[in-house]
Structure 1
């Protein structure tokens, strides 16, 4: 079964995270590379709602708040909720938390990423690879665009 790779996708319910999970379950980039795919979402998500294929390699883990509690508490939650977290080899980080205060949104983004990667670094000695997608969702009204 597979080549021993375990992908952990933070933000799996978003557009990018969803597509990464879907492609991995369809054996991208090569057949049988992934032994396990762990899809993390903050809000509940079922395989049926996500329209991912029925696949024994998939674990959907909901309800991990990357900003809640101490670092040790976050690591304990991840250890208890993510099956075989100690075997994670690849992390794809797409988690996002919107906030009307852009400074708070940025601080939350930095804190979430720092805490998540620190946790997985402590929990999985086989970590090989981390992908971080960056950017922001900024919406302006037409009047704001016209005025400046």
Structure 2
């Protein structure tokens, strides 16, 4: 059975303020139907002003700020567990940038 028919789907998008993550947020809200995802969570390192983000005004869209994957695992997990709906995630999209040292 196609994943389109899974009920209560929640998408988690790492790097949601970048061009690819932003596009995934917008598409997840409407494609393939407006009911495909119950919630779409965008993870962002720095604050993003929703008024200038061109993201839809949709109650299913949750933006979580200050998610810095260069921090320790404990710090990142502590931030993630407080995000509304994080425990319901069914799909993960990673579009963040990684620094290679």
- Shorter-chain TM-score bucket reads 0.7 to 0.9
Structure 1: state its 5+ residue gaps: 98-104, 108-148
Q: Is the partner of 2:81 in helix, strand or coil?
A: helix
1:34 equivalenced with 2:59 (yes/no)? no
| Aligned residue in 2 for 1:10 | 14
Larger proportion of helix: 1
Q: Deviations over 1:18-76 (max 9, x none)?
A: 10101112x2123301000001111101222211111000111111111112x233212
| Aligned residue in 2 for 1:90 | 91
Structure 2: state its 5+ residue gaps: 1-5
Aligned equivalents of 1:35, 1:47: Cα separation in 2: 20
Q: Is the partner of 2:17 in helix, strand or coil?
A: coil
For the 8 Å contact 1:47–1:60, the answer to whether it is kept is no
TM-score for the superposition, normalised by structure 2: 0.85
- Give structure 1 regions of 4+ aligned residues with deviation exceeding 2 angstroms: none
Q: Matches of residues 41-80 of structure 1 in structure 2 within 5 Å? A: 41-69=44-72, 71-80=73-82
| Aligned residue in 2 for 1:106 | 100
| Cα RMSD (Å) | 1.7
Which of the pair has the greater relative contact order for Cα pairs under 8 Å at 6+ separation? 2
Aligned equivalents of 1:31, 1:65: Cα separation in 2: 30
